[in-house]
């Protein structure tokens, strides 16, 4: 009771009453139900994947030992691996870390030796096996065959949730082999998994907050913003934008959200630092209000010490007063990113509550089971499928009112792989 008085006052003082009482507090029940319901893991699929992975890993280990001309070392030990590559094989070390020579993927990719492909492939498959196969086995409930993640509501600085034991927010999707992992997460009998995800929500928030006319026009008219950005930064007519130009522009758009630097973009987009810098200049020339918005955010964070998200969530930026450039620059990037990432998390939390309540009030058997930052996943009986898709779409699109519309993509299937 003593704490109640003190904390209640603080909540009011910081204008957090709405966020606390209307979002975070009711969300607890929603998260509890999601954790309790869980999700089925098909152990037959898991075991099948395990056998395929184990077989290929075994042959890769032989290949690596052959090419190294030695089998008395642990491939998983970066220290031992570095000794083989840069000692025994005489390859040129390019990057150091605190413990010695780096053997990260981007370093390996620069090396010219047949062992590199085998190592990268080994790393990829070993990661899938240890983290997603062996790791998942350990947390499946033996009686029910389901896994129950633990969503942490009060952990991140941006308002996002985090997921652990198992982490169901980082299940592979980018590579074909990794994506296979998703086949083991299945809907129970007579059900489907429905996935509904916000399309480019952080970029839309950037358009909303910056009020950049070019971005607002694009989103109001359903344009392809990555292609549009490509057309501008490459000074090329929209019809002549290639997929490679679009890919670079996409990296720029994402980079902006994270508080970009020429160096970071160069590394990410695979272009020269000079080229990256030119992209950024052209980007800001095209969308001048975005630069104003970013500058204003950093200035405001410096002046008042904090920023707020759409729903009034606070983040403080003590790094901005540091005498050290690196720490200060980190604070500046975080200040550019927080309102976007934080507001996106506000929006999906509001959407979760609306979906949760709508399913309950409509007496649906469908259950909200997962949230993956910009995506909601529902386990739905076949016969409820179409109604629930509509319910997800409407509640997510209308969670909040912005200058520009929110767009939601939906897919479904018997397993998570097919629901993408």
Which residue has 């042959």 as its token pair? 59
C-alpha distances out from residue 399 to 160, 231, 314, 349, Å: 16, 32, 20, 9
Residue closer to DNA by CB (options 140, 384) is: 140
DSSP SS3 for 315: strand
By beta-carbon proximity to DNA, the closer residue of 40 and 163 is 163
Beta bridge partners of 39: 147
- 136 vs 187, which CB is nearer to DNA? 136
Angstrom distance (rounded) from CA 348 to CA 336? 20
- Between 12 and 104, whose beta carbon lies closer to DNA? 104
If we measure between CA atoms, which residue out of 159, 63, 59, 167 comes closest to residue 115?
63
- Judged by beta carbon, residue 6 or residue 176, the one nearer DNA is 176
First to last CA, the chain: 47
Q: Which is nearer to DNA, 48 or 177 (CB)?
A: 177
- In the three-class reduction of DSSP (H, G, I as helix; E, B as strand; rest coil), residue 399 is classed as coil
**Minimum Å distance from CB 331 to DNA?**
9
CB distance 373 to 197 below 8 Å = no
For residues 154, 160, 164 and 167, what is the CA-based torsion angle, rounded to 10 degrees?
A: 180
- What is the closest distance, in whole angstroms, from the C-beta atom of residue 95 to DNA in the complex? 8
Provide, rounded to whole angstroms, the least separation between the CB of residue 215 and DNA: 16
Its sign, for the CA torsion 388, 394, 399, 404, is: positive
- The least CB distance from residue 295 to DNA, in Å, is 16
Distance in Å, CB of 200 to DNA, minimum: 10
Two structure tokens written together for 369: 């089971």
Residue 187 DSSP class: P
| Min separation Cβ 316 and DNA, Å | 11
User: Smaller CB distance to DNA: residue 4 or 99?
Assistant: 99
Q: How many CB atoms lie within 10 A of CB 60?
A: 21
Q: How far is CA 308 from CA 99, 293, 338, 351, 374, in A?
A: 39, 14, 8, 19, 20
Residue 23 CB, shortest distance to DNA, in Å, is 18
């Amino acid at each position: 009771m003593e704490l109640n008085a003190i904390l209640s006052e603080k909540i009011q003082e910081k204008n957090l009453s709405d966020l606390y009482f209307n979002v975070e507090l009711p969300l607890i029940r929603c998260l509890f139900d999601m954790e309790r319901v869980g999700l089925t893991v098909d152990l037959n699929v898991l075991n099948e994947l395990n056998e395929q992975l184990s077989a290929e890993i075994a042959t890769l280990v032989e290949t690596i030992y052959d090419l190294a001309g030695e089998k008395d070392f642990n491939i998983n030990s970066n220290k031992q691996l570095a000794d083989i590559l840069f000692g025994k094989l005489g390859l040129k070390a390019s990057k150091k870390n605190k413990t010695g020579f780096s053997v990260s993927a981007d370093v390996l990719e620069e090396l010219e030796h047949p062992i590199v492909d085998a190592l990268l492939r080994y790393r990829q498959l070993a990661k899938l096996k240890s983290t997603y196969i062996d790791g998942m086995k350990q947390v499946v409930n033996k009686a029910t065959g389901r896994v129950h993640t633990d969503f942490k509501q009060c952990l991140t600085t941006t308002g996002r949730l985090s997921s652990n034991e198992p982490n169901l927010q980082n299940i592979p999707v980018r590579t074909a082999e990794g994506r296979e992992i998703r086949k083991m997460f299945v809907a129970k009998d007579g059900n489907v998994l429905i996935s509904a995800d916000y399309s480019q929500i952080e970029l839309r928030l950037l358009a909303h907050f910056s009020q950049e006319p070019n971005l607002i026009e694009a989103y109001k008219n359903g344009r392809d913003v990555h292609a549009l950005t490509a057309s501008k930064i490459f000074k090329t007519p929209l019809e002549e934008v290639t997929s490679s130009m679009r890919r670079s522009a996409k990296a720029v758009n994402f980079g902006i959200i994270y508080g970009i630097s020429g160096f970071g973009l160069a590394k990410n987009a695979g272009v020269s630092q000079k080229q990256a810098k030119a992209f950024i200049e052209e980007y800001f020339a095209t969308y001048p209000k975005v630069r104003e918005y970013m500058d204003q955010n950093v200035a405001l964070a410096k002046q008042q010490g904090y920023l707020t998200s759409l729903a009034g969530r606070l983040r403080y930026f003590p790094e901005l007063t540091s005498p050290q450039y690196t720490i200060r620059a980190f604070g500046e990037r975080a200040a550019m990113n927080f309102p976007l990432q934080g507001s996106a998390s506000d929006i999906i939390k509001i959407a979760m509550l609306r979906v949760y309540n709508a399913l309950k009030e409509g007496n649906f058997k469908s259950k909200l089971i997962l949230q993956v930052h910009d995506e909601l996943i529902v386990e739905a009986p076949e016969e409820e499928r179409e109604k629930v898709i509509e319910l997800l779409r409407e509640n997510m699109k209308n969670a909040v009112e912005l200058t520009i519309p929110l767009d939601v993509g939906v897919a479904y299937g018997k397993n998570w792989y097919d629901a993408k």
